[in-house]
Structure 1
Amino acid sequence: SPLMRKAFDPFVQVLKPISPLAWMPLALYTLKDSDVSGIFVIFICSVWPMLINTAFGVSAVKREWLNVASTLEVNPVRKAFQVILPAAAPTILTGMRISMGIAWLVIVAAEMLVGGTGVGYFVWNEWNNLSLTNVIFAVLLIGVVGMSLDLMFAQLQKAVTYVE
C-alpha cells in the first residue's frame, strides 16, 4: 500500500542507520538484562533489510498475477500464500541473507560489549591477554561461520527463485 509505505518509511529511514553501539546502552537501561538487551540489539539492527526487501518484493508482484487471482475469486489468505509469497520469496530471502550478515556482525559486537560468553567476548578477552594468535584464529572463525551462513541462504534463495 502506498499509504502504508509513506507512513512507515520515515521511521524506517531514521532507525535503520543507528549503530548497534548506540542501541546497547538504551537496551541495557530499559531491559535491565544483558542477554535480552543483546537479542534486542541484534533484532533492531538486522530487521531493516528484511523489512525493506519484503515490502519491495510484495510490491513488485506482477499485476497480471493478482488480476488472475481476483478473477478466480481467490480469497485473500490463499492469494497471499499462493501468489504473493511465492512471487516475492526470492526478494524476501535476499533481505534475510543481508539481515543474517548484519546479525552476525552485531552478535560479535554485542558479545564484546556485554561480555561473559561468545566469540566476541573471546576476541576481546584474548586481545586484553595480548594473545594475538587466538584473536586471529577467532577472527578467521567468525569469517568462516559468516560465509557458511551466507552460502546456506544463497542455496535457499536459488531454490525459491523462478526463472521464466
Structure 2
Amino acid sequence: MSTVTTISRGDELAALWRERLESALKAVVGPVAGFALLVLVWQAVAMRIPEIPTPGVTWHAAAELFSDPFYDNGPNDKGIGWNLLASLQRVGAGFGLAALVGIPVGFAIGRYAAVRAMFSPIVSLLRPVSPLAWLPLGLLLFKAADPAAIWAIFICSIWPMIINTAVGVSRVPQDYLNVARVLNLSEWKVTTKVLLPAVLPYMLTGVRLSIGTAWLVIVAAEMLTGGTGIGFWLWDEWNNMKVEHIVIAIFVIGVVGLLLETLLVALARHFTYTEE
C-alpha cells in the first residue's frame, strides 16, 4: 500500500513540475519568438535601405554607448544615463503635482453634485487638448524650458486621475454612505474610511494611465525645449546623423515605459479587491 502511495505522489509531483515547465516555456517562447521576428524584419529592411542600421551595428553601438552612460563633457554633451535621469525627474515632478491636485479634485467632483456640475464641463473641454499645445503657454509663464516641460507633464497627467477618481467615488454603493451617516461620521472619516478603500482601484487605474501619457509627452516636449533629457538626446543624435543611436533611444524609451507601466499595474493589482 505504501509503495502505491509513493508512486501516486511521485506521479503528482512529476505532473506538477511538468505543468510548471510548460507554463514557463509558454511565458518565454512567445516573447522570444516575437522579438526574433522583429529582428528578422529589421534586418530585411536594413538590407534594402542602407540608411537604416542593422541589428548588429545597433548592438555594437549600444554596447559602446552603455559602457559609459554617465559621462559629462559639458551641458550639451552628456551620457544617455544623465539624459534619462533628467527625463524621469521631470516626469516625477509633473506627475507628482498632478496627483496632488487631480486626486482631491476627482474626489470632490465625484462626491458633490454642485462641484461636478461646475467642473465637469471644464474637464470635458480641456481634456482633448494636446499636452504639447500647453507647452508654449508654459514657456510664456515660466520663462524657462525645464518648468515648461514639467507643466506639460502636469497637464497631460491630471485628467486621467480626475476622471477615474471621480468615477470611482460616484460608484461607491449608497448603502456605505447611509451607514456612515447613521454613525454620524465626519467628512474626513467618510473620505478616509469609506470612500478611499473603495475608490483606490479606480484611482490607481488613473495613475497608471497618467504615467504612460506623461512618459509619451516628455519625449516630445524635450525635443521642442532642448537642454537635457532623452527626447533632446534623441533629437541631437538625429542632427548628428547617428541613426543607430536613434534606434537605441527608441528601445530605451520603450523599456522604461514598459517598466513604469508594469510597476503600476502590479501596484493596482495589489490594491484591487476581488471576491473569492
TM-score range, shorter chain: over 0.9
The equivalent position to 1:75 in structure 2, one of 186, 193, 203, is 186
1:5 aligns to what? Answer: 116
Structure 2 unaligned regions, length at least 5: 1-111
1:4-83, aligned counterparts within 5 Å? 4-83=115-194
Q: Does 1:115 align with 2:242?
A: no
- Give 1:2 deviation, angstroms: 2.5
TM-score, normalised on structure 2? 0.58
Q: Tell me how far apart the structure 2 counterparts of residues 56 and 115 of structure 1 sit (CA, whole Å).
A: 38
Post-superposition CA distance 1:96-148 (Å, at most 9, x none): 00000111111111111111101001111111111111111111111111111
Question: Which residue does 2:262 correspond to in 1?
Answer: 151
Matched AA of 2:145: S
Given that 2:132 and 2:217 are in contact with CA atoms closer than 8 Å, whether structure 1 keeps it comes out as: no
Q: Counterparts of 1:82 and 1:134 in 2: how far apart (Å)?
A: 51
Unaligned segments of structure 1, at least 5 residues: none
| CA contact 2:157–2:211 (8 Å) conserved in 1 | yes
Q: CA deviation at 1:3?
A: 2.5
Cα distance, 1:95 vs. partner? 0.4
Query: Distance between the aligned counterparts of 1:77 and 1:67, measured in 2?
Result: 15
Q: 1:98 corresponds to which residue?
A: 209
The whole-number CA distance in structure 2 between the counterparts of 1:26 and 1:143 is: 28
Larger radius of gyration: 2
* Structure 1 runs of 4+ with >3 Å offset: none
Percent identity for Structure 1 against Structure 2:
49
How large is the Cα RMSD of the aligned pairs?
1.1
Q: Secondary structure at the match of 1:11?
A: helix
- Indicate the residue corresponding to 1:138 in structure 2: 249
* Matched pairs, number: 164
Mapped partners of 1:33, 1:93: distance in 2: 32
**Cα distance per residue 1:61-90 (max 9 Å; x no partner):** 111111122222222111111110010000
